[in-house]
Structures are given as structure tokens and as C-alpha cells.
Structure 1
Amino acid sequence: MRYQKYFFSILLLSLTFSCSDETDSNNAIVLNSSVKELINHTQEFKKEIYSFGNGIHVAVGYGIANSIMVEGIGGNIIIDASDSTFEAEIIYKQFKEINSNPIKAIIYTHNHGDHTFGTSYYYNLFDEKPDVIAHESTDYYVERIIGILNPIISKRSTRMFGTELPDEDVINVGIGPYLGVSQSPVGYIKPNITFKKELKLNIAGIDIELYHAPGETNDQLFVWLPQKKALMPGDNLYKTFPNLYTIRGTTHRDVKGWVESLDHMRSFNPQYLFPSHTKPLSGPQVLETLTIYRDAIQYVHDQTIRLINKGFYPDQIIEMIQLPENLSSSPFINEFYGTVRWSVKSIFNGYLGWFNGNISDLDPLSRFEEAKRFSAMVGGKEALFLELEKAIKNKDMQWALQISDQLIALDYKTKKTNKLRAQAAKSIAGESSNPNKRNYFLSAAYELDPNYKQSSLLPQTEAVLKEISVDMFFDILAVRLNPEKVEPGEFRVCFSFTSGLKRSMTLRNSIAEISTLTSDCDIQVETDDQVFKEMLAGIRNPIFTVTSGKVNTNGNATSFLSFLKKFSDS
């Protein structure tokens, strides 16, 4: 049986790509005047430590997210630990010059890696480990992202943040200068203190109030420091229109709940606002900004629902909703991250699901069948290709992309079609002032380069695997099952771990059922939790790990390896 090195590497992050150094002059990216404001927006992320007389310090521009230090008595508190241990080390050198007292607690405002993946740097600095505090659902969402959805979320995040684009192609990422999570191993630490609705505590003499505040994520919280009249809203507010939907992919974001969370923040009448992206605010501007932000979100929500109830489809509604001038004129509502159009589609889907109500869209023709008929209607495949060239010549680039979809479905002149598709994508990107769209289109264009090569995947570290549950690995295995490799009948493998955890996986009807039932086993496996995780993550070679007895199969090594092989497409 032949096994590739990373055959079982189910937890690999940073799905990245590289491209040829050759540049087609026709594909050169020309910055349109519409991106001037985006270029100016980069000043929002100028690398700087903002210090306030109340003992709060904010590191802006060191990565995509801010990191905040609150000085206490004999110890300090970190709110959001940056996107990587690499960035955390740089930031802490600056913080330490201000106050070198030990870190007593690290607070996650939510699960996103740019707020959590630098934690282990702080955590490992001290013999007396700091508490890690978050909402009770944060760990679930971390595991979800680095678990069953990791391959596609990594790929789409790479595109959206432009992490493998040439430096000169990335202006910024809307809410920060760049995403640095791939510069070092993931440093996530599981929270040891969690709460459901609210938590009030005193750390190093600082009264801290934490409130669950669903918005950009379901686990979002905000931090209120009553002694300092300071509020940390996490990602529920930053200096750009909010990402009510993110094009990298996400579960539905409760837009109405987001507004309610902002109203909760407003009720404290904060004097200082320290967002986890973009610069801090103080004085009357704080309440003004919170109000204009929540009003913009409510406007999009309410008007979308109004038009939904009139029977309009999503593609119609996006053409009908624009923010009024008194909202759109705010610098906090520029569409440098989320957009109204994307938000409308997400709100529709969140309330009514994927079916837009149009009967022609319920069970449409396959992409290939539609392309075949479309081609015949315009005079054949070559005529369709000529229409693509015409669209490119006329700089009708969105239409060119849609024509190229048809040609790709027909597998006609694919190399030439891809070249023109890349040209259209780059042209659209060059005219876009939204960095998410810009970076995604540029990345997609580079992937069409015939010399494109996906770079190596980065394996997880032993340390981060200790923070991840064994159950997550079983969930990943279940969704990686190749149904073509499952034989008729029922086959059960039972697992006993040194932690006392017992699980079974039963193959039947081309699915893998995960259960606590551990009787009638075809194979009985006994192993250490960490060894099992390291084997599946590619840190340990599966053949050696099994044959050496680190994973004890009670004489069924060959059968167990064959069982694992069913969770691969190779």
C-alpha cells in the first residue's frame, strides 16, 4: 500500500499558491482612479502604538488586527493576541517598554485567527500562565474553521486577503495592512474561562465586564472597563462598512442581532472606543460613530426585508438599495471591507435560504447543458469565443467573465479562454476600491496562469494539536470519506484513548457514523490522544505509528491502515 507523506494531513493550514514571474503586458494591473480612496485608507493602519492616559495601549498596523494592552496593578491584560506568534513577539516588545509587568489574562473578542493565533507567544512567556477568556462558543468556532471546512476556507481566505499576491498588488485588506497568519505556526490556546451571557471580574485591580454581542461572529463579545469608560467592540465596528457577509465564506451573520449588540454598547455611553481593527476613538465621536454604524446596518436589513416581502429576487434587490447620503457620507461606511450588495444577498439567504423564489432557478439546467444551448443560440462554440474576445476588446469585463464560464463548461479553447478570463479578472480588480474583491479577483487570475503551482501546505505543530479535541478529528474523517471505497455491509472500528475517551466509527451505506458505542468492533484501537492527532495531522507517519505499536490495533495493523485509506481520494 502506497502512502504519500501528507496523506493524512487533515489539519493543514495556509493553502497557498505561487505563479510565474512572467507577466503578460495585456494583463498588467492598472490602478483606476476609483481606488485612490483605498490607497489613502492605508494611512488608517500606519504602524503605531496608541497610548492613552488611562493605561490602555493599542498596537495598530502590526498585522491585520489590533492588539490591546490594559495596565493593571502588578499585571497587564491583553485583548486580542494578534494573527501570529511572529506578530505577537514584535508587538510585545513595544508593550514591554511601556510596562513590563507579567500578563495576567488574555481576552479573545472572538474566534478569528487574527485575534487568537498569536496567543501562545504570550502564554509561554510566564511560568504563571495567564488566564485565557472567551465566550463559551469560541473554541467550537475555532475548531470548525480549522477542522471540517479548513481546505476551502484556507483557499478562499488566501484569495480574499491576497496572502500570496506580489506585495505591489496588495494595497491593504480593508481592516488592516495585511494578514500575517502564515508567517509562523498557529499559536491558539484554548480558553480556560468562558461565559454565556455576561461575565464580571477583576483582574490586576481592573474591573472588567464582558458581554456576549453576536455580530460579525456568533461568539463575539465586547469588553467594558467601567473605571475607564472604555469599550472594546471587537469586530462589531471598524472604519469601513461591516462584513455582513464575507466572500471567503461563513455561516449566516445575524444582522438584526448585530444592531442589538451595538445598541447594548451605546447604552454605556463610552468615552473611549478601541476597535480590534483601525484606530481608536475618544470623546463625542464614539457615540456618534456607534450610532451611524448601527443605523447603516439596520437600513440595509430593513430595506432588504421590505423588498423581499414585495416579492423581489436578490439580484433585483441589490440594484434597488443604496445607503442614503447622510449614512454613506460617513468615513466609517466606505465599502472597504463589506458591501451593501453582498449584504443584501446574505440577508435574503439568512431569512429564506438559497431558493430565490424564481421557478427557473429551482432545478435549472446543468452548467454544461446551459452552456451547450447558449453556444448553439449564438452560432456555435467559435462564435461564442469571438464574443469573449469582443467583450475584452470593449472592456466589458464582467460580461467577459460570464462568457468565459460558458466556454470553460464546454472545455473549448480552455488555454486561450483562461488567458482572457485572467485579463478580465485583473481589469476588474484594478478598478475595484474594495480590497476583498480586488484581492480575490487578482488571486483567481494568477491561479489561471499555466505556470501556477500550489505551494507546500504547512503542517500543524504538536502544541496547537494539544488545544484541539479528538472529536474534531473524527468529524474531519467523516467528511473526508470517499464513498467509492466503502464496501457493502457494515464495518466498525472502536477507539480507546488514554484520556478515557471512547469512540467508534462505523462505515455503512457510504457514510461514517461516529458514536460512543464500542461493542461489536471489527478492529479495536488503543492509543494516546496526542499520538492519534499527530498521526492524522501528518506529524507522524501513519504506517510507522501503527506498526510500531504507538497505535495498537491488536493485530489488525493492515486492516486499520486500509480503513484509513478510505478517507482519501488518492
Structure 2
Amino acid sequence: MRSRSNFAIKLFAVLLLLVTACNRQQSETEINEADAQELTIEKSGTFMGKPYELVEFPNGAWANKTLQTDYKMFKVPLSSNFIKKEVAKIADGIYTINGLFASYIPVIETKNGVIIYDSGTSPEIGRQILKMLETVTEKPVIAVIYSHSHYIFGSSAIKEKYPNAQFIANPRLASNLASGQGAGSVFPEIGPLLNSGLVQQFHMMLPREGKDAPFGGFISFPDFSGFVRPTTEVTEGQVLNIDGVDLQFFTNFNVDSDDQLLVWIPSKKIVLNNAFWGFMPNMYSLRGSNFRDPENITQALFKIRDLGTEIMLSTHGTPIVGKQAVKETVETYADFYNFVKDQTLRAMLLGRAPQDLGKFLKLPQHFRDAEYLCETYGPLETFAEPIYHHGRGWFDNDAANIFKLTREDEARNLIKAMGGPDRVVQLSDQAIKEGDQMWALKLINYLYVTEPTNQTYRTKKAQLLYQLGMVLESQNARSWCITQAYALTNKLALPRLVLPDEIVNNMNPTTLLTQYKVRIDPEKAGTTNYLLAFAVGDGKKVGLHCRFGVVEFIDDVEKYGQAPNATLTMSQTSLVDLFMNRKPVGQILSEQGNAVKGDRKEVENFLSYFDEIFSPQVNQAIPVVKK
């Protein structure tokens, strides 16, 4: 059973420390800045046969000129954090606080106080919310409603000033934070892999200024110190009366997390929501988060319509006022979700393979014209394939693909068929001249896969990725491309796994060992049948029982039907060191306070069967090349 301890609640919020963890990874792998290579692109030219023009934003970032206008709904330059800093009056007693971060804070004034929807990303943002709120009302904050688990970390500042304020949330919110599911992984064991994706998705390892900086408002991670646990958890359809105002809560809609709260205020015909964004929604996140079900999200949008909403206040989208305007907006937005889903299913029925789907989707013009469906966040081309996999799995119905070659074997065979590495380089260079940079990238990637430390291949791949990232409109894909281009040209070390100290140091033994057990190497373990008990601190003894290459976590060794082969008594710090592969196993066992009851050599041998995934030599998404 997965632990949901109070300590572990820090797991999501302290992703703020991801950058620190990546910086430490760089020092461990000793990147030599003298070996770094420059990446170049002309400010105007053609890419994939289409002309582009790059412009410079106020922070020095170069990006496609279209991005000056494509965030149409916000009516402000991207460099201003998407939203103008102001308190906007929507109607009598209805406001939004804008521009403090890449989101809106809806405000509902009641007779004796105010209700706000979310609290920002840090205590400082919370204080700024209060300061801006004071420009329109002197009433106290009596309730904070958490839209979902992403923008709730300014609450400590609000609670400090208004200790009697109510904090309302979906009942899944606290448990999601406790299980470390903030990155959206289906399995907690691969959370560090998704954390690395978060780093790459949001420009975290790239400069904050200069041509490679984010082209708009920087998306950072929240400061956990500002989180206040919910005082009230509501259920689907529940109605609460707050200072004479009825609010109805809907909890079953999953947009970018499954802990959403959609709120209906019938007396004011207002909906508070996170289902409508002011740009094309990210139906799939490149970091690999949970499946975002278009059917469920469209149900949320239709709920907003069917309630008769006259004012729609959204976490990311600008306020929409007027029943007809709300209806038309949410229907178009829902139609976009359904278009992507239905056309994906249509393509499947027509026999299209997963890799064909991105090019199959052709948006009708009315979607292209909608100011809130600009393709500036996630790339449309990536949305269909996850629907295919969710619907029928990986198999594309072609019997030739039931059994697959490894990437390396496929690349070697193709390189041989094309006439060898030099010929592949020539073909890649020729593709660039012909304006087919994507084919050039694919070709050079075959060479990279077979020889990832070859700097010639790395540099050519990096240059293509860099140019691709620069001309893209999608800020997510841009960051992935440029970050990996940096790693390929020795500007940074890119870890495959990221797990900051502040997270792992607060994971209890159950959490640590249930995630550690998946690292067993069955070839090393062979026919081993061995139970190792762990006594950590004052807690109960837990254990790992390896049976022929499969490990079972034992929640209580004393109640288990088999006596342990050995018992390892150790500190929490030592268990974390083992988990993070910070020290050799023998050194950990020898440290003061740690003891082995049983054969020490057997224990050390048993622990050697587990992969050291966090060691600097292993934990490299792109191999570090040292001269």
C-alpha cells in the first residue's frame, strides 16, 4: 500500500528545487564549459519549406514573429506574463486579479467578505493578491477555493492575515500532493523521469535572458511553504452556503489534474473553472503525464453551458461575459476537443498507424480563427497519438510490427542499407539543402542512436533541434528542443531522472522501498529467494522479498509468513543514500548506527542486484562527453 504521510505531502510542491537538483547533476558530471559549442540560426529564412521571421522579445528571447499576435485572447505582449497586471472589474462585486503570474485570480464579493479562486504560486504572490485586493474592497477574505493543485501556494499569506478563512478543495487534492503525483505520473516509481520532463518542458535549464530564454512569461514551480491544507473537502454536486451565497461544487472533471473544482454560483450565474484556457489546450503533455480524456473535459465545458452561465471566470482564460458569448465559447472549445478525438478515431478506422495521426489532423478554419485556440502551448501534432494508445494500445494492426527491432538495431540496419555513416551524413545535409529539415533530423538521429558520444553527430542533431525549437510556436516543444540541443553541445548535463533532496529526504521507508524494488535486475538476481528486512528508526520492520527476479514489498515483516534471511538496521539518512545511490553499499553498511543481523556479505550482494539509477554515470539523458 502506498504511503500518504504528512511528510510526503511536500513531494509535488518542492519541485521548485528541480533546477537545484539539475545544477548538482551538472557538477557531478563535470561539464567543461570550454567544450561547449555555439548554436546558430538566422533571424529570417525558411524551415521545412516555409518562411519564418524571428523577433526579439523584451527579455532578449528570439521567437517566431507570429507569437507577437498569436496569444490573441490576452491582448498584451507575451513578455508581460500573458496578462496585464491589474484588478479588472467584471461586474458589481466581481473582479479578477491579473498579471501576478500566468493565471487569473477570480474574486467574488459577498456581504461581509470576499471569496477568491486560487492563491498563486508562492507566499509573496499571496501577499500581492491581498495588496491588489485592497484597492477595490476592505472586506476580509473569508474563503479560498482551490481550482486544482497547481496555484494554491499563496495561501499562507492569506491565512496569516485572515486566520478564520475557509480553504476549500477537491478531496483528491491533498492525497495527490501526498503521493507525489504532481508531475502527473501514473506510477509514482517513474516520478523522477517525469520531473526531468518538467525541467525540459518549461525552460528551467535555459537562460532567463538572451535569445534562448523563454519567449513569454516564465512558468516556475510553486513554493510549498505557502500551502495551507484544506479545511473543507467537498463532493460532487455539494452545495455550501458561504456568507449567504450558495456555491455548488463539481469534482469529477479532470483537465490537467484530477483534483479540479468547478464552482457554480447560481445567484450570480457565475462559473469558476479550469476547463477553459485562453489558448489551445495541452491535450497531451510531452513530459508524459496522465491521459487527459477529451470526453471528460468536454463534459465540464458542456456543464458550464448547460448551467446557463452568464459570467465564466477561468484560471487561464480571460473572463467571458454574456450567456450567448459563454455558450459559443465553450461549445467551440468543446468542439475542438471532440474534433481531435473523433478524427483520431476516424483515422484509426481508416487504418492509419499512430505515427500518421499528427499529419492526419487538419483543423477547420473556424478553429484556426478562434482567438482562444492559438497553437502556442502544446503542439497539435502530438495530441492524437495518445488517444490511439489509450483506445487500443501500441499495436497498429500491421503484423510486421508485432515484434520490434531495438532502436539501435533498426538504426544500424538502416545506416547499412543507405551505404554507411558517411552516406547518411551526406543524405542529411542534402535534405537540409532541399528544405526538409525534419527528414535531416531523422537521418542524423539514426547515427546518434548508434554512437551517442560522436560529437559530429551530436552537433548536427543539436543544430537541427535548435533551429526547430526557434521557429516553433509551441513553447513546450521549443523548450524540449533547445534544452536537448544545449546538452548535445556540452552546454549542460541533462539528467534522465530528477529527484531533489527536499523531496527524497521526506519520503518514508515504505515510499522509498516500494519505489526501490522495481530496480531489480533479474539476470543478476537469478534464482535468488531472499528476504531482507529493514529496521529504520522507530518504525515497524518492512522488507523486500526477492523471488527469482521479482521483488515483493513486505509492509510488516513481523506478520509475514517467512523469517527474514537478514535484518538491516539503518538510519533514515542511510536509506535515502541507498535509494539515491549516493555512496557504495559497503560504505553505507559500515556507517555508525547501521548494523546487519545475518550475513553481511549476503546483504551487500543482494543489494548489488538493484540498478544504481541515480549514479552520475547512469543518470544521463544525453551522455556527457569529456575530453
Q: Give the TM-score, by structure 2 length.
A: 0.74
2:195–2:498 contact (8 Å) kept in structure 1: no
Matches within 5 A, 1:361-440: 361-411=401-451, 414-440=454-480
1:239 aligns to 2:278 (yes or no): yes
Which is further off, 81-90 or 323-332? 81-90
Matches within 5 A, 1:190-209: 190-209=229-248
Shift of the alpha carbon at 1:101? 5.3
Q: Which residue of 2 aligns with 1:52?
A: 90
1:397–1:425 contact (8 Å) kept in structure 2: no
2:519–2:611 contact (8 Å) kept in structure 1: yes
1:523 aligns to 2:552 (yes or no): no
Number of aligned residue pairs: give it. 548
2:516–2:579 contact (8 Å) kept in structure 1: no
Q: Which residue of 1 aligns with 2:175?
A: 139
Shift of the alpha carbon at 1:188? 4.5
Deviation string 1:130-155 (CA, Å, 9 cap, x unpaired) is 43422436623762246533322222
Partner-residue secondary structure (3-state), 1:294: helix
2:206–2:213 contact (8 Å) kept in structure 1: no
Q: Which residue of 2 aligns with 1:162?
A: 203
Shift of the alpha carbon at 1:126? 5.4
2:510–2:555 contact (8 Å) kept in structure 1: no
Partner-residue secondary structure (3-state), 2:315: coil
Q: Which runs of 5+ in 1 are unaligned?
A: 1-8
Deviation string 1:9-59 (CA, Å, 9 cap, x unpaired) is 998751546895977363466693493332232454233333334434433
Shift of the alpha carbon at 1:294? 0.7
2:103–2:315 contact (8 Å) kept in structure 1: yes
1:240–1:332 contact (8 Å) kept in structure 2: yes
Matches within 5 A, 1:243-392: 243-283=282-322, 284-392=324-432
Q: Which residue of 2 aligns with 1:83?
A: 121
Deviation string 1:48-92 (CA, Å, 9 cap, x unpaired) is 333334434433332233334444455543422323445444434
Partner-residue secondary structure (3-state), 2:40: helix
Deviation string 1:374-399 (CA, Å, 9 cap, x unpaired) is 12222211111222233334442211
Shift of the alpha carbon at 1:308? 1.4
When residues 25 and 461 of structure 1 are mapped into structure 2, their CA distance, relative to the original with a 3 A threshold, is closer
Shift of the alpha carbon at 1:256? 1.4
When residues 404 and 89 of structure 1 are mapped into structure 2, their CA distance, relative to the original with a 3 A threshold, is farther
Q: Quick one: distance in 1 between partners of 2:611 and 2:128? A: 40
1:222 aligns to 2:262 (yes or no): yes
Deviation string 1:242-273 (CA, Å, 9 cap, x unpaired) is 21111121222211121112111111121211
2:44–2:53 contact (8 Å) kept in structure 1: no
Which is further off, 256-265 or 68-77? 68-77
Q: Quick one: distance in 1 between partners of 2:298 and 2:244? A: 32
Q: Which residue of 2 aligns with 1:6?
A: none
Q: Which residue of 1 aligns with 2:192?
A: 151
Deviation string 1:381-423 (CA, Å, 9 cap, x unpaired) is 1111222233334442211210121111221882011111111
Which is further off, 367-376 or 96-105? 96-105
When residues 428 and 133 of structure 1 are mapped into structure 2, their CA distance, relative to the original with a 3 A threshold, is same
Shift of the alpha carbon at 1:535? 7.9
Shift of the alpha carbon at 1:293? 0.5
Shift of the alpha carbon at 1:352? 0.8
Partner-residue secondary structure (3-state), 2:180: helix
- Structure 2 counterpart of 1:110, one-letter code: H
Q: Quick one: distance in 1 between partners of 2:590 and 2:181? A: 27
Partner-residue secondary structure (3-state), 1:288: helix
When residues 478 and 435 of structure 1 are mapped into structure 2, their CA distance, relative to the original with a 3 A threshold, is same
Which is further off, 207-216 or 408-417? 408-417
2:119–2:155 contact (8 Å) kept in structure 1: yes
When residues 131 and 23 of structure 1 are mapped into structure 2, their CA distance, relative to the original with a 3 A threshold, is same
- Structure 2 counterpart of 1:157, one-letter code: L
Partner-residue secondary structure (3-state), 2:557: coil
Partner-residue secondary structure (3-state), 1:319: helix
Residue number among 27, 37, 61 corresponding to 2:66 in the alignment? 37
Deviation string 1:526-560 (CA, Å, 9 cap, x unpaired) is 989xx89988999x9999999776xx979799899
- Structure 2 counterpart of 1:14, one-letter code: L
Q: Quick one: distance in 2 between partners of 1:292 and 1:320? A: 20
When residues 170 and 286 of structure 1 are mapped into structure 2, their CA distance, relative to the original with a 3 A threshold, is farther
- Structure 1 counterpart of 2:468, one-letter code: I
Matches within 5 A, 1:164-183: 164-166=205-207, 167-169=209-211, 177-181=217-221
Q: Quick one: distance in 2 between partners of 1:128 and 1:536? A: 44
The RMSD of aligned alpha carbons is: 4.2
Q: Which residue of 2 aligns with 1:14?
A: 18
When residues 220 and 482 of structure 1 are mapped into structure 2, their CA distance, relative to the original with a 3 A threshold, is farther
Partner-residue secondary structure (3-state), 1:136: helix
1:77–1:103 contact (8 Å) kept in structure 2: yes
When residues 269 and 225 of structure 1 are mapped into structure 2, their CA distance, relative to the original with a 3 A threshold, is same
When residues 322 and 210 of structure 1 are mapped into structure 2, their CA distance, relative to the original with a 3 A threshold, is same
Q: Quick one: distance in 1 between partners of 2:575 and 2:327? A: 47
When residues 559 and 106 of structure 1 are mapped into structure 2, their CA distance, relative to the original with a 3 A threshold, is farther
Partner-residue secondary structure (3-state), 1:148: helix
Matches within 5 A, 1:67-106: 67-72=105-110, 74-99=112-137, 103-106=141-144
Q: Quick one: distance in 2 between partners of 1:536 and 1:222? A: 43
2:172–2:258 contact (8 Å) kept in structure 1: no
- Structure 1 counterpart of 2:394, one-letter code: W
Partner-residue secondary structure (3-state), 1:52: strand
Q: Quick one: distance in 1 between partners of 2:372 and 2:320? A: 12
Q: Which runs of 5+ in 2 are unaligned?
A: 1-10, 46-51, 55-63, 72-76, 616-627
- Structure 2 counterpart of 1:82, one-letter code: G
Q: Which residue of 2 aligns with 1:442?
A: 482
Q: Which residue of 1 aligns with 2:60?
A: none
- Structure 2 counterpart of 1:148, one-letter code: E
Residue number among 207, 211, 215 corresponding to 2:250 in the alignment? 211
Q: Give the TM-score, by structure 1 length.
A: 0.81
When residues 555 and 469 of structure 1 are mapped into structure 2, their CA distance, relative to the original with a 3 A threshold, is closer
Q: Quick one: distance in 2 between partners of 1:186 and 1:356? A: 47
When residues 545 and 252 of structure 1 are mapped into structure 2, their CA distance, relative to the original with a 3 A threshold, is same
- Structure 2 counterpart of 1:163, one-letter code: M
2:115–2:141 contact (8 Å) kept in structure 1: yes
